[in-house]
A = this chain, B = another copy of it.
Amino acid sequence: MRRVAIVGVGHTDFMFDSPKTEVEMFAEAAMDAINESNLKPKDIQAINCGNGLGDFSEGQIMMQSYIADDLGCFNVPATRFEGACASATIGIRDAAMWVASGYYDIVLAGGTEKATAMGTPLATRTFAMGHDSRYESPAGMTFPGFFGMLAHLYSSRYNISLEKLKEQMAMVSVQSHEYGVRNPHAQFKKEISVEKVLSGFMVASPLQLLDCCPFSDGAAAVVVASEEVAKKLTNKPVYIVGTGQASSGKMSAQYKYLPRIRAREVSVKQAYDMAGLGPEDIDVCELHDCFSIASIIAAEGLGLAEYGKAGDLWEKGEMRIGGKIPINISGGLKSKGHPIGATGASQTYEIVKQLRGELVDQGRQVDGARVGLVDTLGGDGIICNLILKAD
């Protein structure tokens, strides 16, 4: 199969209560990506759009068709992918395959979501539809509750006191906000302190308010092209060299793997194997930090830290720029924001920018980054990973 590259990226501001519709936000990010690719809408051969709950937020299903029309990409195949928070990452992985196979040369992929309109003020309850509605939802499972449970299990399994773990988790959030301040698209541009995290109100023990990412409105998109086309369009192609995806079913039932997430280990191994790379080759990573404990668990599942040790690394600054492995230098879901169906595209946008070396002016460039990893968790059972590599 052919090599595949990302040749352009676009990203809206992430915010509470955007005045734009999901179609409009996607179109905004997409036009930036198309323009940056030196393309016109008519050059786009297919569109993959991630979206979680457009019906609940806007009364809109199959928005991808209206997106194609609004963009001026008339009569192309436009496909919606729904894998909860991993929707856009799955759509990008799929786009990469269609291009790699030789069927298409140029595909637009991304995601969009008005998560703050998703049944506000009941967004957490609405989004709990990403749990198993037969077994987990009737038991009252929500995502803060589930990740709170994982934090308790983590504390117990690795014999780290809850007090210590809470400090480490707080450090994760503090770091994310520190970098989010420098990201012009971030929803929260303010620094926080460990003390502030630990004095916040309890959401779901042991997770306090600032252990939790927000819901956000926003969109992001990338243009995926064959190597041959990419070389004509840009002198900074970023190649998609590995992809992985796995569904583990309801995580709450996988007691042997908790607080690890089996789907992540399966998915990232696919991506590493496909790329012929390993965790030691990753220069920069955007991982799914829906909660501070989720960052710690993800870094371990991706092989970027030993099991039970990721919190130490955050505490020691090893996940910062200049550290062992810079993680979530965008501000992550925590500070940049989390528009469900757009998040994977936003993570991909960030890694492309890092690998192109374009974040110097924002004061958050990882020097010499050549290989980046995207990690997105969908609901309580889907993982999708991408490994990107500078030319």
Interface CB pairs A-B, < 8 A, 6: A1-B103, A59-B133, A65-B247, A69-B247, A70-B249, A74-B248
Determine if A61 and B82 form an interchain contact, defined as CB atoms under 8 angstroms apart. Answer: yes
Name A52's closest neighbour in chain B (CB-CB). Answer: B61
How far is it, in angstroms, between the C-alpha of A81 and the C-alpha of B48 when the chains are bound? 10
How far is it, in angstroms, between the C-alpha of A233 and the C-alpha of B249 when the chains are bound? 28
A82-B82, A129-B59, A133-B60 are known contacts. Are A66 and B249 too (CB-CB below 8 A)? yes
Residues of chain B within 8 A (CB-CB) of A132 are 60, 66
Residues of chain B within 8 A (CB-CB) of A68 are 247, 249
How far is it, in angstroms, between the C-alpha of A84 and the C-alpha of B79 when the chains are bound? 10
A59-B129, A78-B247, A247-B75 are known contacts. Are A65 and B382 too (CB-CB below 8 A)? yes
A66-B249, A68-B249, A247-B75 are known contacts. Are A53 and B59 too (CB-CB below 8 A)? no
Whole-angstrom distance from the CB of A344 to the nearest CB of chain B?
13
Residues of chain B within 8 A (CB-CB) of A249 are 65-66, 68-70, 74
Determine if B53 and A61 form an interchain contact, defined as CB atoms under 8 angstroms apart. Answer: yes
How far is it, in angstroms, between the C-alpha of A184 and the C-alpha of B84 when the chains are bound? 36
Residue A315 at the B interface, CB < 8 A?
no
Residue A42 at the B interface, CB < 8 A?
no
Q: Which 6 pairs, one residue from A and one from B, show the smallest C-beta to C-beta distance? A: A69-B249, A101-B101, A77-B245, A65-B381, A78-B247, A65-B247
Determine if B59 and A137 form an interchain contact, defined as CB atoms under 8 angstroms apart. Answer: yes
How far is it, in angstroms, between the C-alpha of A178 and the C-alpha of B245 when the chains are bound? 45
Name A85's closest neighbour in chain B (CB-CB). Answer: B62
Residue A321 at the B interface, CB < 8 A?
no
**13 further interface pairs, Cβ-Cβ under 8 Å (given A60-B133, A64-B83, A65-B247):** A23-B134, A55-B56, A61-B82, A62-B130, A62-B378, A62-B381, A65-B248, A66-B381, A68-B249, A75-B247, A76-B247, A79-B83, A97-B101
Contact pattern, A 231-246, Cβ under 8 Å of B = 1, otherwise 0: 0000000000000011
Whole-angstrom distance from the CB of A329 to the nearest CB of chain B?
28
A298-340 residues with Cβ-Cβ distance < 8 A to B are none
Residues of chain B within 8 A (CB-CB) of A84 are 61-62
Residue A262 at the B interface, CB < 8 A?
yes
Name A384's closest neighbour in chain B (CB-CB). Answer: B77
Determine if B248 and A61 form an interchain contact, defined as CB atoms under 8 angstroms apart. Answer: no
Determine if B65 and A262 form an interchain contact, defined as CB atoms under 8 angstroms apart. Answer: no
Contact pattern, A 123-136, Cβ under 8 Å of B = 1, otherwise 0: 00000011011100
Determine if A129 and B60 form an interchain contact, defined as CB atoms under 8 angstroms apart. Answer: yes
A75-B248, A78-B247, A246-B77 are known contacts. Are A62 and B101 too (CB-CB below 8 A)? no
How far is it, in angstroms, between the C-alpha of A245 and the C-alpha of B78 when the chains are bound? 8
Partner pick for A379 among B62, B245, B263, CB 8 A cutoff: B62
